[in-house]
Amino acid sequence: MDRRTTFDGWLLPVLLVLPQLLLTGFFFYWPAGEAVWSSLTTQDAFGTGVVFVGLDNFSDLFGDPLYRQSALLTVGFCLAVAGLAMGLALALAVFADREIRGKGTYRTLLIWPYAIAPAMSAVLFLFILDPRVGLLGRWLNRHGVDWDYHLNGWQALTMVVLASAWKQVSYNFIFFLAGLQSIPRAVTEAARMDGAKGWHRFRTMTFPLLAPTTFFLLVVNVVYAAFDTFGTINALTHGGPGKDTETLVLKVFRDGVVNQDIGSSSAQSVILMLGVIAITAVQFRFMGKKVTE
């Protein structure tokens, strides 16, 4: 990862890196440190009485079947969202990469939803999928499908996956399209000459060449699904019915914000932070290697 040629001196670079270090210190390490400390305590909502309890909050969590269930749900949810958002984006990108008329227009129309706020996508989906107010929801119920995500856990899960994935397709589309365009035409032409048919050519030639992009997007999408979907899920289902759509981040919120159980909520934050750091480290190893190659 290191360059061969560099500039001399150390005062200037230290000054250059300082603003970011200070900001990171004040707004990341300080709060994170407080979160770690809180995770080792039991305290009332107002923080006036704080008792050190060691790792009790963590052992309570790992002993709680509801927490394990939520963790499992989160993994499934992340994979579903990442799979769907990336699958759709890849399909769209493959077709948008073909030589067809109006492809520029198509691309533009597929990129703009990137700008929509997560909280807003929830509202949009409500108007489509609500069993009574939504366009599609009403249609389903009129046609004999018992669509009611307030009571049906799988339907609720399907809906939050759809709403979360929808928002992310544009982002993935941009990367896949760029990935496809960076594959030299000569390579695809050669494959075509060899008589490789569409699907086969895609499977054996294109997809392997897209592997770095795919891996990068997988990480980004999993982190997106794990964290940024909070607004969407909270607005659509509050984690229900039952606990069928309660992901880990929702639980952090519910325990910390609604329930004012600062100790347990902080412990959950700490676990999540460690998880994200682990994912990032894996990704970085991969990216780092790629750059030095």
| Shorter beta-carbon distance to other proteins: residue 201 or 243 | 243
Shortest reach from residue 145's CB to other proteins, in Å: 15
* Alpha carbon of residue 166 to chain centroid: 12
Q: Which residue has the tokens 């079947």?
A: 65
| Total number of residues shown for the chain | 293
Shortest reach from residue 51's CB to other proteins, in Å: 4
Phi and psi at residue 43, to the nearest 5°: -150, 155
Shortest reach from residue 76's CB to other proteins, in Å: 19
With b meaning 16 or more CB within 10 Å and e meaning fewer, what string describes 243-254?
Answer: ebbbbbbbbbbb
CA dihedral sign, ordered 100, 104, 105, 109: positive
Shortest reach from residue 204's CB to other proteins, in Å: 20
Query: Are 155 and 134 within 8 A, CB to CB?
Result: no
CA distance 9 to 21: 19
| Shorter beta-carbon distance to other proteins: residue 75 or 238 | 238
Phi and psi at residue 131, to the nearest 5°: -60, -25
| Shorter beta-carbon distance to other proteins: residue 80 or 171 | 171
Shortest reach from residue 231's CB to other proteins, in Å: 7
